[in-house]
Amino acid sequence: MVKTRAQRIKRMSVVDALCIRSQISVKSARYCKTVSKHLAKLQLAESGKNSSLVVCPSMGKTMKLYSMDAKRCKLSLLSTIDPSQRTPEVFMYMISSYNGIICCVNMIYDEDVENKFCDLQIWICNPITKETLLLPQGTPSFEFEPSIGVAYGSDVSDYKVYRIFCTGKIIPEERGPAEGFYVQEGRFFTKYGHSLAYECEVYSSSTGSWKNIGTVPCLPMSCSLRPYRRTGHIFVGGKVYWLVSLDAPGKILSVDLEGKFEVINLPAYADGLREDEQITEASHLINLKGSLGLLVLHPENMDVWVWKHDGERYSWVFQFKDVVPIKDDELILAVTALDNKIICVNETHWRIYDMETEKWKRRKSPRTGFRNPVVLPFTESVLPCNGGVKQ
């Protein structure tokens, strides 16, 4: 039978047809139930031309997200997220953003005070469609708040969530830190604690379940500036990166999409420099135009390094140094990068550095100020939270 012209044309979903005929916006398409992979790529390419920032100025009972462009620093309400399955009276915190999908976490509290296991609820959300997805609970973590990192595959619909937790099992061959002294036969001996095993499991959007990928070589550092202290990470170049230590030589932990871990040292400074001229506590990992970057803030200037491959191996390459208008007592609460700009947030202001003009701009914060702020690059999309898009 000879096919008609209509039969030869590939069928389009409702979203495809509407978008092609009327060029509707992302927000107009958010109520459609299915999204084709072709449309998702086209829509992301179009939205990516006007990338902005997604901002959560303060933690609250409901998560209010705002969009902002880095030029004007004017906030526009984007979405309010308050899923019914969230643990009551516990605030959500945004930890990653990619292709219009954000990841948020909140603590789970157990009324049993003798329970030594703790956990986080992990959410995948789309602020545009207002869809939320609560991931299944992972393995209970013993007296250790899990560390989270989110990676995104080459396919627009794929993501992975890495969760580092404490098993509670003692590692017999490893000696823990010194915990004091004891006396035996008139002699003093050091009392050592025991080392516990830490493992990682990964949730994949393609399987919808967790898989244990084994032990980790070291733990992401705890940052007191975040309400969930081990969730700070960046995803760049197919890997998730966490800061491990800022003490010389300093370390970073990474994991790739195959679950392979690697530990790399922070850039080395010349001998003889003062402590505040080397790696400081105000050091931040950033995605610098698709490469792993390190921003080091000093009292009067800043250094920017990039992790580059020279054809044979990766190494830290010094990019530039410039003065900073940030005062010594000015606490930087959040840092990110978008295109040619580095954005720093303190309690009352934005500090934005333009890498092309080599100039800083200062903008006032919202009238309510910042409290546990988060600012991340953002592109509007209609991608579903479960990662499933039609072929």
The three-state DSSP-derived secondary structure of 176-188 is EEEEEEEEECCEE
Phi-psi region of 259 (alpha: psi -120 to 50; beta: other; left: phi over 0): left
Taking Cα atoms as reference points, which of 350, 342, 353 lies closest to residue 377?
342
Given this model, what pLDDT does residue 375 score? 95
Give the pLDDT confidence score for residue 29 in this predicted structure: 52
**What's the confidence (pLDDT) of residue 17?**
44
Q: Are strands 374-378 and 52-56 parallel, antiparallel or unpaired?
A: antiparallel
pLDDT of res. 42: 77
| Alpha carbon separation from 338 to 35, 58, 254, 271, 344 (Å, rounded) | 27, 21, 22, 33, 11
- Residue 19's pLDDT is 47
Give the three-class secondary structure for 221.
coil
Amino acid 26: pLDDT: 57
- The domains found in the chain, sorted by start residue, are 51-378 (2.120.10.80)
∠292-298-300 over CA atoms, to 5°?
Answer: 130
Residue 275 C-alpha from the chain's centroid: 28
The sign of the torsion formed by the CA atoms of 374, 378, 380, 382 equals negative
What DSSP string describes 308-348?
A: EE-SS-EEEEEEEEEE----TT----EEEEETTEEEEE-SS
Which distant-in-sequence residues (6+ apart) come within 8 Å of 120 by Cβ?
105, 106, 107, 108, 145, 146, 148, 228
Please give the Cα distance from 141 to 145 (Å, whole number). 7
Cis check: omega of the bond before 249, within 30 degrees of 0: yes
pLDDT of residue 373: 92
Angle at 70 between CA 321 and CA 35, to 5 degrees: 120
- Residue 368 token pair: 């309510």
pLDDT per residue of the chain (391 residues) written in tens, 0 to 9: 444 444 443 444 444 444 443 344 555 555 555 566 667 777 777 777 777 999 999 888 889 999 998 777 888 999 999 998 887 778 999 999 999 999 999 988 766 645 677 889 999 999 999 999 999 999 999 989 999 999 998 777 799 999 999 998 887 655 555 556 555 556 655 554 557 899 999 999 999 999 999 999 999 999 988 888 889 999 999 999 999 999 988 999 999 999 999 999 999 998 888 888 899 999 999 999 999 999 999 999 999 999 999 989 999 999 999 999 988 778 899 999 999 999 999 888 899 999 999 999 988 877 667 888 999 999 998 888 988 654 4
pLDDT (0 to 100) of residue 70: 76
